[in-house]
Amino acid sequence: MRICGIELKDSEAIVCLLNKNDGLFDLPDCRLRRLPIKDADQTSELKYFQQTMAKLFEDYKVDKVIIRERLKKGKYAGSSVSFKLEAVLQLIDTVEVELISHNTTKETIKRIPVPIPFDETGLKRFQELAFATAYAALAE
């Protein structure tokens, strides 16, 4: 099963692909690590974001998209733009999209630790939360 873990941060989506076959994890190369949006008030920008992500999911044969859930209120609440991007992703009808909370991710990784240190994955440091989100979804 191929998962695309996504962390929505301010006005960009940070992406990590993770594959699991016969109990083995694999990090396939991906042409996209992050996709920023310039102006979330422009319909054309949101459509471009949606089409780019849908094409990515299609090209890499993603089975499921897992988005790291953000807090809706409080000190660490997600930005309004990130919630727009989440809605745009949820409206892509060619792939299943789920949200996973930070607590669920932490608990899963605590129960089923990542087999290698993050530094050895070859991913960029800014992709760590997207990777953890994808790993938690596949480790269950």
Domain spans of the chain, in order of start: 2-139
Tens of pLDDT, residues 111-136: 999 999 999 999 999 999 999 999 99
- The confidence score (pLDDT) of residue 72 equals 87
pTM of the model: 0.93
Distance between CA 5 and CA 67 in Å, rounded? 6
Rounded to an integer, the average pLDDT of 54-79 is 92
- The confidence score (pLDDT) of residue 23 equals 84
Homologous superfamily assigned to 2-139: Ribonuclease H-like superfamily/Ribonuclease H (3.30.420.10)
Query: Within a 13 Å sphere around the CA of 52, how many CA atoms are in the beta-carbon half?
Result: 17
- The confidence score (pLDDT) of residue 13 equals 97
Q: Which amino acid type is present at position 9?
A: K
- The confidence score (pLDDT) of residue 83 equals 93
- pLDDT of residue 71 exceeding 90: no
